Amino acid sequence: MNTASPVSTRFSMMARFLIALGNEVRKGLRFAWSERLQILIELPMFGVFILLLGPLLGQGGDIAAGEVEWTLDSETTSILLVWFIPFIFFYMQVVKMFWRLLAEIQAGTIEQVYLSPLPSWLVAAAGRVVAAFLETLVVAAGTFAIVAPFVPIRIDWNAAALLPAAMVMLAGIGFSLIIAGATLVWKRIQLVNDTVLTVVMLFSASAIPLIEVPDWWADASHALPLTDSVGSLYTALFTGESITSLWGIGGLVPLLVVSFAYLGAGILAFGLGERTAKRRGTLGSY
Amino acid sequence: MPTTVVDEHMRARTRPDAAIELDGLGKVYGRGEKAFAAVKPTTLSVPWGQVIGLLGPNGAGKTTTIKMLGGLVTPSSGTIRLGGHDVARDRSNAVRQIGAVLEGSRNVYWPMSAWENLMYFGRLKGLRGGEIKPRARRLLTELGLWERRNETVSSFSRGMQQKVAVSAALITDPPILLLDEPTLGLDVEAARTFKDWIAHLAADEGKTIVLTTHQLEVAQELSDRIAVIKEGEIIADLPTAELLARHAEDRFEVRVATGSLDVLARVLPDGATTEPHDDETRVTLRDTDEDTLYALLAQLRAAGAPLVSVARAQPSLEEVFLRLIHADDDSVGDDDRVGDDGANQPTQAKETTS
């Protein structure tokens, strides 16, 4: 006779959940450690990109006239960081998820993962998301640390920025799940992946006052996952205004709706990709 | 009335007679004109502790069947029960019954050590560290990997990597083991070690094993029962000894020293085949009675051909397999399929024997 109480059963389920999550995180970080050299090579590139972009952004006319001033403006670089670090986070989350999953499909280990009695969303998705998340946090912090010694970064850190920061993460997780679901079905989708990431980066730039974009561009950029998060971050960290304004770039409504929509779409897409791959018998095929 | 997960638990509480039950299991890939039946609806029952060899040419449906058993491929029709648990309705408990080594896969993580792999797969299957460690230690010790447990799997030979894969599959001590081409790519010594290990698992630990392999001598040695699949359909399913016996024939093998070829050409009866082998020639006489054999021996003696040996021979599993695979569908005997004594009853079989 089963004498386990509902509380102990719930505790046991929770323990199992945490063990499984920790297991995947440990594996992800173990792989990250084995790729530490690549990460160390990548890190300065992000910093260099920001430092180079700082003097060039918005100076098209000067560049054409050959009169670029190579000075690092503190305000511009600070705003660039607020745009680019969320993007790095988003980019790394998606890219890590894609390549790790593809590597497991190529190696065939993904099928062993699916032989787990635990729910597949836990072992195949959640663990990877958390591992990529932790890894990406390190890279984003590293990028900030590389840029900061070259230019005084003037950001008014305040708690209001936590909401858009959380939404960046939520949208990143959602989008990485969409990519993961598509990877389970179509495998080599890195071109699509890279194209979409570039579009996300370009359109999210409309949320910061360094580039002027046409209205249609600004309107369309709401549909992409980063724009309103970056806009809201800019509002919180540079303008001293409240982030509770409902509409416009960085408005509360588009920020929450778009971020949660991407998370929902990601969960849906991953489940759909998984079902399709199992139906086609291509879960572990490459 | 539809069954529920609770019903599944109740059903599984008393151990069912069969470890694996397939009921009308089938898989069709594609749709419309492009539809292709990889596995035709099959009903099969594997008792606990039995080693069943699933044999067939490439594309016959073996791997699809194995993957459907593990829930990695969704069947188009039918049901699968592992230890009484329905794979579709009670996946979690069903997959707890199995460990698998899949063909064409690494099965384990090469950048991680053997120990890390076993810990990872143990946790992945819901065990705690304290439960995994003693078992991992025992498995690695038995397979001779204990001293190298902290080395990354990528530095191991193919045979050692395969041992880690089997250890990972066994880490939860599952009663059913699915082995898809487990000796593929192994050298002779590694394959032998592996074969011995599988035999040990079956004989000493009572594992139910589904084995697919193209190495038919391995299948013959290890399997209690052989199921031959052709174009997605089981065309033969019998205990190994019985399958061989049903295809037995009056056959003799005569070995004469090389250099007797001229003599052989003159005296060989119709249907005899010769095969040069090192410093001798093997003559196989099929469907031959003893009178014909003695007549041939007399002729060889008269011609002065040096005789090496004479033996009564039986077809190997490989020969039986090829005969079944190349036979026309109609000529495959219905009596190659076993009946209701705990074995196969293909839904499409024209007739089964009991």
pLDDT band at A130 (very low <50, low <70, confident <90, very high): confident
Q: What is the mean pLDDT of chain A?
A: 83
CB B209 within 8 A of CB B177: yes
pLDDT band at A11 (very low <50, low <70, confident <90, very high): low
List CB contacts of B79: < 8 A, sequence separation 6 or more: B21, B22, B23, B24, B25, B86, B87, B88
> Beta strand pairing status for B51-55 and B225-230?
parallel
C-alpha to C-alpha distance for A133 and B236, rounded to whole angstroms: 53
Residues of chain B with CATH 3.30.70.980: 251-312
Read off the tokens for B33.
Answer: 């004109």
With a CB-CB cutoff of 8 Å, which residues 27-66 of chain A face chain B?
A: 27, 30-31, 34
Minimal-distance CA residue of chain B relative to A278: B73
**pLDDT score at B6:** 54
pLDDT in tens, chain B (354 residues): 455 555 555 555 567 889 999 999 999 998 888 889 999 999 999 999 999 999 999 889 999 999 999 999 999 999 999 999 999 999 989 999 999 998 766 789 988 999 999 999 999 888 888 899 999 999 999 888 899 999 999 999 888 898 899 899 999 999 999 999 888 878 888 888 888 888 999 999 899 999 998 888 889 999 999 999 999 999 999 999 888 888 877 788 888 887 666 777 777 877 788 888 778 888 888 877 888 888 888 888 888 888 888 888 777 888 888 888 887 655 555 566 654 444 444 433 332 332
Query: If DSSP codes are grouped into helix, strand and coil, which group holds residue B304?
Result: coil
Q: CA triplet A280, A112, B206: central angle to 5 degrees?
A: 115
Query: If DSSP codes are grouped into helix, strand and coil, which group holds residue B193?
Result: helix
The number of C-beta contacts closer than 8 angstroms across A and B is 97
H/E segment holding residue B294? helix B290-303
A111 in B contact zone (CB under 8 Å): yes
C-alpha to C-alpha distance for A164 and A170, rounded to whole angstroms: 10
- Does pLDDT of A120 surpass 50? yes
- The CATH number corresponding to B5-240 among 3.40.50.2000, 3.40.50.300, 3.40.630.30, 1.10.1510.10 equals 3.40.50.300
A280 in B contact zone (CB under 8 Å): yes
Percent of chain A with pLDDT over 70: 95
- Does pLDDT of A127 surpass 60? yes
Q: CA triplet B55, B57, B59: central angle to 5 degrees?
A: 110
**pLDDT score at B9:** 56
Q: Is B249 exposed, middle or buried (0-12, 13-18, 19+ CB in 10 A)?
A: exposed
C-alpha to C-alpha distance for B183 and A86, rounded to whole angstroms: 49
Q: Beta partners for B18?
A: B47
Residues of chain B with CATH 3.40.50.300: 5-240
C-alpha to C-alpha distance for B14 and A281, rounded to whole angstroms: 33
**pLDDT score at A138:** 82
Within 13 Å of residue B27, how many CA atoms lie on the same side as its CB? 27
User: What tens digit of pLDDT does each residue of A184-203 get?
Assistant: 999 888 889 889 999 988 88
CB A265 within 8 A of CB A174: yes
Number of other residues whose CB lies within 10 A of the CB of residue B246: 13
A20 to chain B: which residues are within 8 Å by CB?
123-124, 126
Are B109 and A27 in contact (CB < 8 Å)? yes
Of the given ranges (A56-60, A70-74, A149-153, B293-297), which has the lowest mean pLDDT?
A: A56-60
Type of residue numbered B222: L
Percent of chain A with pLDDT over 90: 15
Question: Interface pTM (ipTM) of the complex?
Answer: 0.81
Measured in residues, chain B has a length of: 354
A275 to chain B: which residues are within 8 Å by CB?
74
Nearest CA to CA, how far is A189 from chain B (Å)?
21
Are A109 and B116 in contact (CB < 8 Å)? no
**pLDDT score at B341:** 44
Q: What is the DSSP string of A83-97?
A: HHHHHHHHHHHHHHH
Q: Which architecture does CATH list for B251-312?
A: 2-Layer Sandwich (3.30)
Q: CA triplet B135, A27, A91: central angle to 5 degrees?
A: 165
**pLDDT score at A273:** 94
> What are the domain boundaries of chain A?
9-280
**pLDDT score at B49:** 92
User: What tens digit of pLDDT does each residue of A31-53 get?
Assistant: 888 888 888 888 888 888 878 77
C-alpha to C-alpha distance for B12 and B14, rounded to whole angstroms: 5
C-alpha to C-alpha distance for A153 and A156, rounded to whole angstroms: 10
B100 in A contact zone (CB under 8 Å): yes
C-alpha to C-alpha distance for A276 and B73, rounded to whole angstroms: 10
Type of residue numbered B111: P
Span A13-38, mean pLDDT? 83
User: What tens digit of pLDDT does each residue of B143-161 get?
Assistant: 888 999 999 999 998 888 9
